[in-house]
Amino acid sequence: MYYQSESHSSSSVHGGTGAGDPLERVVRLASGSAVVIFSVSTCCMCHAVKRLFCGMGVNPTVYELDQDPRGKEIERALSRLLGGGSAVPVVFIGGKLVGAMDRVMASHISGTLVPLLKEAGALWL
């Protein structure tokens, strides 16, 4: 599991145009790795989703929003993206939004998660 520290994430983001729009930043971060999880370090459901991917042998890139100076903005943007409710955890695979915990689990049970992971190069066999 790769944890992006705040300095790391801000440096990777503040190149070029500058990240004015939090949603843009989300998209940029999400496209940066095969599996991206936006999380809050104290959130237990986030812990559960991280354990899920690790249990499958996947190494997700995790952004802890409570450790990011602009984390609050991102949280708000994510919450809007998900249609209200809790902003974290939210999972992107291959740059595409999968969703919150319930969508991730539904996708795993229905057998669509693993192909998605393989396609994104996060899982081999």
Residue 86 CB coordination number (10 Å): 16
Residue choice 23, 27, 45, 82 for contact with another protein (CB under 8 A):
45
Residue 71 CB coordination number (10 Å): 20
80 within 8 A of 90, measured Cβ to Cβ: no
Nearer to another protein, 7 or 110 (CB): 110
74 within 8 A of 88, measured Cβ to Cβ: no
Nearer to another protein, 13 or 37 (CB): 37
- Which helix (H) or strand (E) segment is 63 a member of? strand 61-64
Give, as ranges, the residues between 46 and 105 that touch another protein (CB under 8 A): 47-49, 51-52, 55-56, 86, 101-102, 105
List interacting residues with another protein (CB under 8 A).
42, 44-45, 47-49, 51-52, 55-56, 86, 101-102, 105-106, 108-111, 113
